[in-house]
């Protein structure tokens, strides 16, 4: 039996901003090689691709030089090299999926879940006024 949908709460990032300081961070488990990490990914409907910080990739056991497919990021990340990294991920009680990340060398970037391929795998409904979002597999 599959789970139809699951709800998650927004994370309070900056108390001083009140409700405006809460963002939709999704808890998920990433695995690569024999490593697993529980992380928080920012749901960003305006991001074209998923983005993985350099240090997270290293912690998962990925080796930069082994990732030979380059990807060009835009905006604030345009000046940093990025490479494609496929990472199995588990969200809530759903069946694990494979996420395609632009693994970037940019410092201080969050895990970003974007259109390719997070929003291709899940439908998301935001209830901003309630500080809740709902995830449902495609």
Domain presence at residue 30:
yes
The reported pLDDT for the residue numbered 3 is 67
| Successive 10-residue mean pLDDT values, the chain, 138 residues | 84 91 97 95 97 97 96 95 98 96 96 98 97 96
CA-CA distances (angstroms) from residue 4 to 23, 79, 134? 23, 40, 10
- The answer to whether position 106 is within a domain reads yes
Answer yes or no: is 78 within a domain: yes
Q: Kindly state whether residue 1 falls inside one of the protein's structural domains.
A: no
Which domain, by its residues, includes 52? 6-137
User: Could you tell me how far CA 21 lies from the centroid of its own chain?
Assistant: 19
- Provide the number of structural domains found in the chain: 1
Number of residues written out for the chain = 138
Say if 24 falls within a structural domain: yes
Please name the residues in contact with 20: beta carbons below 8 A apart, sequence gap of 6 or more.
Answer: none
At CB < 8 A and 24+ separation, what contacts does 121-127 make? Answer: 121/97, 122/91, 124/43, 124/45, 126/24, 126/43
CATH code: domain of residue 62: 2.40.70.10
Q: Report d(CA 51, CA 84) in Å as an integer.
A: 9
pTM assigned to the model? 0.94
Looking at residue 29, what is its pLDDT?
Answer: 98
Which segments of the chain does DSSP mark as H helices, in order? 54-59, 118-121
């Amino acid at each position: 039996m599959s789970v139809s949908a699951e709800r998650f709460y927004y994370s309070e990032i900056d108390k001083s901003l009140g409700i405006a300081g809460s963002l939709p961070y999704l808890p998920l488990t990433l695995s690569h090689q024999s490593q697993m990490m529980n992380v928080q990914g920012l749901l960003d409907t305006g991001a074209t691709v998923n983005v993985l910080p350099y240090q997270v990739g290293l912690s998962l056991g990925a080796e930069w030089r082994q990732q030979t497919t380059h990807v060009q990021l835009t905006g604030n990340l345009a000046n940093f090299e990025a490479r494609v990294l496929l990472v199995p991920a588990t969200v809530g009680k759903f069946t694990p999926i494979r996420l395609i990340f632009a693994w970037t060398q940019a410092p201080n970037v969050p895990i970003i879940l974007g259109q390719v391929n997070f929003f291709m795998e899940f439908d998301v409904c935001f209830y901003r006024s309630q500080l809740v979002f709902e995830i449902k597999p495609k």
